[in-house]
Amino acid sequence: MDSLNAISYVKRGKNRKKVFLALDKAMMPSELVIKIYGKNSNTYFNIISRALAELTEKGIVEVLNPKERTGRIYQRTRLGKEIVKSL
């Protein structure tokens, strides 16, 4: 995915954009939930997890420990770091 399409993809999704911008360092989904929404809730966790899965699928975010089922750690890829400069 080229950067222009990736920027458009991130901007089109309100939750994707929120999660992407909050992911300023390597973080777990539960940390993102608290950072974005201020409290831990299954509803918010599902929103964050879906957004992370979509961003990972497009190569904008990567999982640092993919073999783990719980406690996965996510960070921006090189493409993600380029995109954040444009937002």
The predicted model gives 14-40 an average pLDDT of: 94
Query: Among candidates 58, 43, 52, which has minimal Cα distance to 20?
Result: 52
Intra-chain end-to-end CA distance of the chain, in Å: 17
pLDDT at 6 over 80: yes
Residue with tokens 């777990």: 28
Q: Looking at residue 42, what is its pLDDT?
A: 84
pLDDT at 58 over 90: yes
Domain limits of the chain? 3-86
The predicted model gives 17-34 an average pLDDT of: 96
Task: Note the pLDDT tens digit of each residue in 65-84.
Answer: 999 988 999 999 999 999 99
Q: Looking at residue 39, what is its pLDDT?
A: 86
Where does 3-86 sit in CATH, by number? 1.10.10.10
Q: Give the tokens for residue 37.
A: 């929404």
Q: Are 36 and 27 in contact (CB under 8 A)?
A: no
Q: Are 51 and 14 in contact (CB under 8 A)?
A: no
Q: Looking at residue 46, what is its pLDDT?
A: 94
Look over the chain and give the mean of its residue pLDDT values, rounded to a whole number: 94
- Taking the whole predicted model, whether its pTM rises above 0.85 is answered as yes
